Amino acid sequence: MRYLRYLMILLTLAVAATASVHVPHASAQPADTAIDYSRWDEVATFSESAVELRRASNTAFEELRSEIANWRKQFQAARDANSSAIDSVRAQLEALGPAPENGSEGEEVAAERAQLNARLAELEAPVKKAELAHSRAESLIAGIDTIIRERQAEELLELGPSPLNPTYFDDGIRALTDSFGKIGREVSTAWSNPLQRAEAKEDLPAILFLMVLGILLIARGRRWTKRVIKRLTRDRKDAGAGLWVATFAISLGSLILPWLGTYSLIEAAYATGLLGVRGDMFLSVLLRAVFIYLLVLWLSQRIFPASELRLPFLNLDVQQRRYGRLYTASLGLVIASFYVLTSMSQAAGWPEQATNVVLFPLIVVASLLLVWLVRILILGARQPADNEDEETYRGRFTRLMLRAVMVLAVVAPVLAAIGYFKAAQSLMLPSLFSLMLVAALIVLQRLVNEVYALLRGRSSDGAADSLTPVLVGFVLVLLSLPIFALIWGARLVDLTELWTQFTEGVSVGGVQISPAIFLTVAIVFAIGYALTRALQGTLKNTILPKTKLDMGGRNAVVSGVGYIGIFLAALIAITSAGIDLSSLAIVAGALSVGIGFGLQNIVSNFVSGIILLIERPISQGDWIEVGGIHGTVKDISVRSTVIETFDRSDVIVPNADFVSGRVTNYTRGNTVGRLIVPVGVAYGSDTKQVEKILREVAEAHPMVLANPAPNVLFRGFGADSLDFEIRAILRDVNWVMNVHSDMNHEIAQKFSEQAIEIPFAQRDVWLRNPETLNRDFAESKQTGTRTAAINEQTEPQGTDDGDGDGE
């Protein structure tokens, strides 16, 4: 029942005043910095002989292991005691450099080197001694853990008396009646004592008050809670997250009030002074058992609610949820009874056959209830009727695990009937406790979703898909893993050992990586990153606008400060955590080779981005053309540059294309640019007049510079027109399309006023062999005449009178 004890420890944290947990006391070691290695040698030698002989009991091995673990903590502290001093001496030796091979070194330097080496050896001596002792303690702890695990496995496979053997029935009944009879005889003996009877009569008012209070809380506590919740949720079909959280908090009253009533009754029994040792033990166990039952009952109300403000956790109807509550409550009663009877058997020292006979009916009943409950859970885990085709991985995994639990529920009573009673317990009880823990996690996840929705003012359905509730749920699952391990037979020391190894970390390339180092790196880097962003914001909004740098130069400075700040933040974070980068040089070299071959494009684009920021051939806001794409530079990042085209779409161009390819920058340095407007006029037009009109149009536009003056060219004689061009320099080339349109409007108006024609293309079509077309046309005409005559002959002679019947 080890996992049962661990679960009870976790469940009774809320009632620690009434629960007593016995922890074996290991011999404490002095907290002095100087370690008594002679005493450690004695303990280690004794432990090695005990591990070799394997004759000690599990309790003795546990106590011995606890003592060795205390020694190991001292060795761990001793290993890190002189770390700063050792690093200082090593740094001084590195500053001196290696000793010359020919021995030609100054006397002062040689003396200093010898003194530092002696100091280093003096500092490292206790560290090395502690490392050896730590290694020895580690091996002893591993040996003890191996022995205990092997014994646990042997106990599970041990064949004991079968509870179906009729010869053992009397032993079970006798053990059960004797235990309760001894409690009754203790009370009768105490009542026969006049002094105790007189004290009980004196405390009768308090006893009666506690009894009445206890009975009232037990009988009415759950009903009061339901009445308050019903009054709050009356006529509210779609309540908010606040109401759900309030009803959740009130529902805890159905757990707390009956338990307080039980506690009051037990205190009334203690107040009589008639209880003995066995009665005291029974009531303390009963209080925990009642808490277990009430907890299971409360979870059943949350998982299988009679009425819920939100959608239920499971896709079940009202009748199925009612059966779910019934089966879950019955299982809670079975678990509580199992705990009480197991504790009584251990305290009273029942024989094994009696224990098996008494507990076997509970295992059978629990198996039946668990099978029925799992069937309902499988039904509830199915997809809704309108979404049966889209089955999720979670649904498949849930049904698979539930079927596994059903198999265990069937196998457990069979093993118990054969005689493998401990194996049956190790299958049945962990399955029940695992379902309880999963139900608790589901309820807590719903609570997290509702609290998040309440704080953020969102709907509960949307809160379930938000990042924060998902992360909190993930943390809850991680925190529950040790509890699952304890439920399925892991020892508490196994978990502490894993935690010790986790905190010590692992060695990578001569560097010890631990969670503390990770945390230090994360915190320092986060601080450096925040300072870098703050500096970037100050430069961008306060300092750089007051300088003469253009927008592109400002962005380049801000980006460069960001890259340098992030690099320095990472470097400071690594060094502040005590990680020696020189020890990772070989690993970094191998990674650099792999990066060079596998990430050539990424590295090329990164270097090109640095070049773009330094040389600034393009800047943010420039109008450029690259690879046939026109647009303005929207953003320059490490790997690529974003160009916003004139149709408002973003084109992502790798930075290497700007360095190795041909790029046209229309607005680099200034916005002055040339405009060319082609114009064609009809043959016969006065070319001098056309040139005059075009020149007037160009000079009249306000965006055209007067110096250099616009020019009009007579380009040549085209196939359909006389070709002219207006060539003008604009003060802002970004307006080139608008100016082009304005000039076209003016040219069309001027030409219309001066009767100058703008030609359009005309073509003469010459047909070869036109007689062939005439012959084909005549034949098709004759064919059409014959077809019409045939149709006329095949028509019916009668006429239609309108009703569809011809006569």
User: Has residue 123 been placed in a domain?
Assistant: yes
In a domain, 802, yes or no: no
Domain identity same for 198 and 139:
no
Residue 416 burial (CB count, 10 A): 27
Q: Which ranges of 619-767 does DSSP label H, i.e. alpha helix?
A: 655-660, 687-700, 736-753
Q: Answer for the pair 194, 363: CB distance below 8 angstroms, yes or no.
A: no
pLDDT tens digit string along 437-468? 999 998 998 888 888 888 877 665 666 667 78
Range of the domain at 533: 515-660
Please write the tens of the pLDDT for every residue from 138-193: 899 989 989 988 888 888 888 889 999 899 999 889 998 998 898 888 888 888 88
Query: Is 43 within a domain?
Result: yes
In this prediction, what percent of the chain has a pLDDT beyond 90?
23
Q: Is 629 helix (H, G, I), strand (E, B) or coil?
A: strand
**End-to-end alpha carbon distance in the chain:** 105
**Average pLDDT score over residue span 105-117:** 81
Task: Assess whether 638 and 694 both reside in one domain.
Answer: no
Average pLDDT over residues 304-324: 79
Predicted confidence at residue 24, as pLDDT, reads 34
Q: Are 348 and 427 part of one and the same domain? A: yes
Q: What pLDDT is recorded for position 214?
A: 92
SS3 716: strand
Cβ–Cβ < 8 Å for 390, 383:
yes
Question: Tell me, what's the pLDDT at 116?
Answer: 86
Name, in order, each residue with C-beta under 8 angstroms of 560's C-beta and a sequence gap of 6 or more.
Answer: 613, 614
611 or 592: which carries more pLDDT confidence? 611
Can you give the pLDDT at residue 797? 44
* 454 inside domain: yes
Summarize pLDDT for 19-48 with one digit per residue, the tens: 333 333 333 333 335 788 889 999 999 999
CA 752 → CA 154, 201, 443, distances in Å? 110, 126, 83
| pLDDT attached to residue 10 | 42
Report which listed range, 334-343, 605-614, 637-646, is most confident: 334-343
Instruction: Give the integer Cα–Cα distance in Å for 139 and 145.
Output: 10
Q: Say yes or no to pLDDT of 791 above 70.
A: no
Please give the biggest Cα pair distance in the chain.
146
CA angle 662/663/665 to nearest 5° reads: 155
Residue 776 lies in a domain: no
The CATH number of residue 680's host domain is: 3.30.70.100
In this predicted model, what pLDDT tens digit does every residue of 241-271 receive, in sequence order? Answer: 788 888 889 999 999 999 999 999 999 998 8
Domain endpoint, select from 627, 660, 693: 660
Please say which residue of 660, 685, 704 terminates a domain.
660
At 2, the pLDDT band (50, 70, 90 cuts) reads very low
The 10 Å Cβ neighbour count of residue 291 is 24
**Does residue 145 share a domain with residue 257?**
no
> Looking at the structure, do residues 330 and 438 belong to the same domain, yes or no?
yes
pLDDT given at position 785: 55
Question: Which of the given ranges, 466-475, 737-746, 790-799, has the highest pLDDT on average?
Answer: 737-746
Span 223-248, average pLDDT:
80
Segment 341-380, tens digit of pLDDT: 999 998 888 999 999 999 999 999 999 999 999 998 888 8
Please give the residue that has the higher pLDDT: either 588 or 800.
588
- Six token digits for residue 570: 């990472």
Is 510 inside a domain boundary? no
pLDDT at position 288, please?
A: 92
Residue 531 and residue 491 share a domain: no
**85 occurs within a structural domain:** yes
Q: pLDDT for 550-586, tens place per residue?
A: 776 777 788 888 888 988 998 888 877 766 666 556 5
C-beta neighbour count of 300 within 10 angstroms? 22
Q: Give yes or no for residue 337 having a pLDDT over 90.
A: yes
Residue ending a domain, among 635, 660, 685, is 660
The reply to whether 529 and 597 lie within a common domain is: yes
Structure tokens, 98: 């290696």
**Statement to judge: residues 649 and 695 lie in one domain:** no
Number of domains in the chain: 4
Do 320 and 204 sit in the same domain of this protein?
A: yes
Same domain, 597 and 677: no
Q: How many CB atoms lie within 10 A of CB 584?
A: 16
Position 39 in a domain:
yes
Label residue 782 exposed, middle or buried (CB < 10 Å: 0-12, 13-18, 19+): exposed
Residue 72 host element (H or E): helix 58-79
Instruction: Examine the domain organization and report whether 241 and 302 are in the same domain.
Output: yes
Residue 615 has pLDDT above 80, yes or no: no
What integer pLDDT is reported at residue 291 of this predicted model? Answer: 94
Average pLDDT over residues 276-299: 91
Q: Kindly report the average pLDDT of the chain as a whole number.
A: 81
Single-letter residue type at 186: E
145 and 170 share one domain: no
Could you give phi then psi for residue 546, rounded to 5 degrees? -90, -5
What one-letter code names the amino acid at 117?
Answer: N
**φ, ψ (nearest 5 deg) of residue 507:** -95, 125
Residue % of the chain over a pLDDT of 70: 82
**Cα dihedral 216→219→224→227 (10° resolution):** -150
CA angle 352, 356, 361 (to 5 degrees): 165
Radius of gyration of the chain from its Cα atoms, rounded to whole angstroms? 46
